[in-house]
Amino acid sequence: MKLTMANALTIAGSDSVGGAGLQADLKAFEALGIHGCTVVTCVTSQNTKRVSSIFPIPSSHVASQLDSVLEDVHLDAIKTGMLYSADIVKTVASRLKKVGGPLVVDPVMTATTGSSLHTEGFVDALVTKLLPISTLVTPNLNEASRLSGVKITDEKSAKIAGREILELGPKAVLLKGGHLKDVEAVDYLFVGNRATKISSPRIQAEVHGTGCTLGALIAGHVALGLKLEEAVRRSKGMIYKAILARERVGAGVPCANPLAVLRIEAGKAQMLENLEDVGRSLESLLDADLIPEVGTNIGHAVLGALEPDEVAAFDGRIVRVGLKARKVGSARFGASKHVARIVLAASSHDPNARCAMNLKYSEVNLKACRKANLSVSTFDRAEEPRGVSSMTWGVHEAIRAYGSVPDVIYDTGGVGKEPMIRLLGESPEEVLSKLKKIKARRTPG
């Protein structure tokens, strides 16, 4: 039986603490099920606090490594990271010009800790030799400013810089705008005359290895056959999860964890099992006074969920049968876009707010929420703008009004819209615990 895998090559420096460089690239390839090959350009002595020294590999040996890989392995994508010197850039470019195929260039200039990772002449060589043969270049704000000559302070200047870099010859530019002062972490993808914003929730944390990992994930997705924009979007979602699952390896900056996606995937079966257990408890706990006319549902998202298919719920809801509750269908991911919108909106403000369920609105139930000492916020459907998702907009409004994610978000309905209470928490078990408190404190009148 013949087994084949996609192959990707990283041409990068070695990070002795394992959080960035070729070590991060290999983890990213592994997370995608891709075989990773390496060409080492530099050996660094660094940890999570500083870079102590850099030993550049002689360009002749960089060439030898590259030749050894190219003569034997079919590469589905190539990614470059820290190249350090003009000589190494020229050596790499001269070999790759003859190869063709997807090439993702991460123009590494500075470490997360602030240390310079290049020598004089590096930028000129990058611009004249490597960018013209690249499929995608992925500069951060500082790198984009160096390459374009544009000081980037906002979206307008970011777009000017991105187009300037595109003029240098790459087929596409991904300008990483994570350090712009936007509500979300927004990147800009430039292809031809089109500029596309790709965003994820902002995480207020400095993390080692994010740039390396993102570039490797994009290269890996391209190696698997994805179109460039889809590869960037999926990689953006994965790096968000890698940052949320960051690991404090040493005493300094924590490291991104690209293998977190494998752990998340492996944990999905247990999430569904836990949701089924909670569903059985809800059948005995819920009654006619707690179940809305449209039925209820409970959703639980994986860590870093950005899409409805990353939120598990019951595909037939929990409905009222006489005076009792009955769970219809089973728990699965992507079962309910409605409850998924609630969870995704809440978790974009607080990544731990990964679970939600809807309850019948009544003054009795709302008073019970307050008596249980649960935090409460609301929104007014009459103020809802046209063309938005009601739940996404409403949850965002209620959270902004309260200042953080509350336990309870309610609204009093609108034309054709049933009033509703939404109960939020970190897990189905926590939401169930809050529901028990509400029921215990519910009294008529």
- Which tens digit of pLDDT belongs to each residue from 20-77? 999 999 999 999 999 999 999 999 999 989 989 999 999 999 999 999 999 999 999 9
- Give the amino acid at 288: A
Query: What are the angstrom distances between the C-alpha of 332 and each of 173, 265, 313, 420, 434?
Result: 37, 13, 6, 24, 23
Query: What are the angstrom distances between the C-alpha of 53 and each of 14, 16, 42, 50, 61?
Result: 12, 11, 10, 9, 20
Q: Which residues of the chain have pLDDT under 50?
A: 1-2
Query: What are the angstrom distances between the C-alpha of 38 and each of 109, 220, 223?
Result: 20, 14, 15
- Select the CATH number that applies to the domain covering 7-264 from these four: 3.40.50.720, 3.90.230.10, 3.20.20.30, 3.40.1190.20: 3.40.1190.20
pLDDT attached to residue 179: 62
pLDDT attached to residue 112: 65
Whole-model pTM: value is 0.92
Closest CA to 231 of 288, 157, 172: 172
Query: What are the angstrom distances between the C-alpha of 292 and each of 152, 218, 288, 335, 415?
Result: 50, 44, 8, 18, 16
- The answer to whether the beta carbons of residues 34 and 8 sit under 8 Å apart is yes
Q: Is 416 helix (H, G, I), strand (E, B) or coil?
A: coil
- The answer to whether the beta carbons of residues 69 and 75 sit under 8 Å apart is yes
Rg of the Cα atoms in the chain: 25
Looking up tokens 């929420």, which residue turns up? Answer: 369
pLDDT attached to residue 74: 95
Backbone angles phi, psi at 169, to 5 degrees: 125, -20
Residue 45 to residue 47: CA distance in whole angstroms: 7
- The answer to whether the beta carbons of residues 370 and 434 sit under 8 Å apart is no
Residue 69 to residue 59: CA distance in whole angstroms: 16
In 97-206, alpha helices (H)? 122-125, 141-148, 155-166
Instruction: Please check whether the domain covering 267-440 is classified as CATH 3.30.420.40.
Output: no
Residue 138 to residue 158: CA distance in whole angstroms: 13
Closest CA to 345 of 391, 296, 409, 413: 391
Query: What are the angstrom distances between the C-alpha of 407 and each of 263, 284, 311, 441?
Result: 28, 22, 19, 16
In 286-362, alpha helices (H)? 337-349
Looking up tokens 């979206």, which residue turns up? Answer: 155
What residue ranges do the domains of the chain occupy?
Answer: 7-264, 267-440
- The answer to whether the beta carbons of residues 342 and 311 sit under 8 Å apart is no
Structure tokens at 375: 């935090």
Which helix (H) or strand (E) segment holds residue 443: the answer is none
- The answer to whether the beta carbons of residues 100 and 74 sit under 8 Å apart is no
